[in-house]
Amino acid sequence: MKFGVVVFPGSNCDRDVAYVTRDLLGQPTRMVWHQDTDIDDLDAIVIPGGFSYGDYLRCGAIARFSPVMQQVITHAEKGKLVLGICNGFQVLTEAGLLPGILTRNRDLHFICDRVPLTVESQNSPWMQAYNTGEVITLPIAHGEGRFYANQATLSEIEDNGQVVLRYAGENPNGSLNNIAGIRNRQGNVVGMMPHPERASDPMLGGDDGLRLFQGLLEKVAALT
């Protein structure tokens, strides 16, 4: 499975993602500079965490107009895989690939913690190595992670089973319905505030995040 990790000016979790896909999982991985417009060779695009464009104006608001993003939108429309982590999740909501928006944490603090999360749905290639109802632990590190959508959109997200991860313990940021990660209706695009790439090498204290990437490979292996 060929992975591409998008790099915007200000992205800083890109190499951690590549470490997982290329070094831990041995998958062909390349970094995709935000001005690259050829991503046809890639199966899965990851938009990593960080502070793209300094979080100026709104997190992800400017990154969304980078040349590569038009290709990512086309890639998603073709049903190919996209994952947005933290700032990547923010970029995906600004780009309209996922509903809602991520706003300032309710308590105004930047939260750096390991949190328990409930896997809500396996209805996505990204989630298939998890079990619905399972509780996993992933690190979070964000100041703008409060998920918000208006009542109508929120109901739609819930009714369609689009929530993939929910904060299981205390809600760290005030996200509506404790939402930590969602998928698009088709399931090929997922966004989440927690960092699975920081919980993939057990040497760092946990590896619950590895299965997010590993699950994709098992699907491909099962098909061949």
Partner 1 sequence: MQTKYLAKIFVTLRPSVLDPAGVAVQSGLQQMGYDNVENVRIGKYIELTITSNDETKARQDMNRICDQMLANPVIENYRFDLIEVETQTGVF
Q: Where in the sequence numbering do the catalytic residues fall? A: 86, 195, 197
Q: In sequence order, which residues have a C-beta less than 8 Å from that of residue 212 and are 6 or more positions away?
A: 83, 126, 127, 129, 130, 196
Q: Residue 113 interacts with partner 1 (CB under 8 A)?
A: no
Shortest Cβ 184–partner 1 spacing (Å): 16
Restricting to residues 178-217, name those near partner 1 by CB under 8 A. none
Query: Smallest gap, in angstroms, from Cβ of residue 130 to partner 1?
Result: 28
Using CB under 8 A as the binding rule, whether residue 144 contacts partner 1 is answered as no
- Give me the residue label for tokens 């997190």: 59
3 state SS of 46: strand
Query: Measured between alpha carbons, how far is 21 from 124 in angstroms, rounded to an integer?
Result: 18
Q: Identify the sign of the CA torsion 98, 146, 12, 53.
A: positive
Residue from 65, 113, 205, 220 in contact with partner 1 (CB under 8 A): 65
Q: Does 145 bind partner 1 (CB under 8 A)?
A: no
The least distance separating partner 1 from the CB of residue 183, rounded to whole angstroms, comes to 18
Residue 34 backbone dihedrals phi, psi, to 5 degrees: -60, -15
- Binding residues (CB under 8 A) for partner 1: these are 57-58, 61-62, 65, 93-94, 100-101, 103-108, 148-150, 153, 174
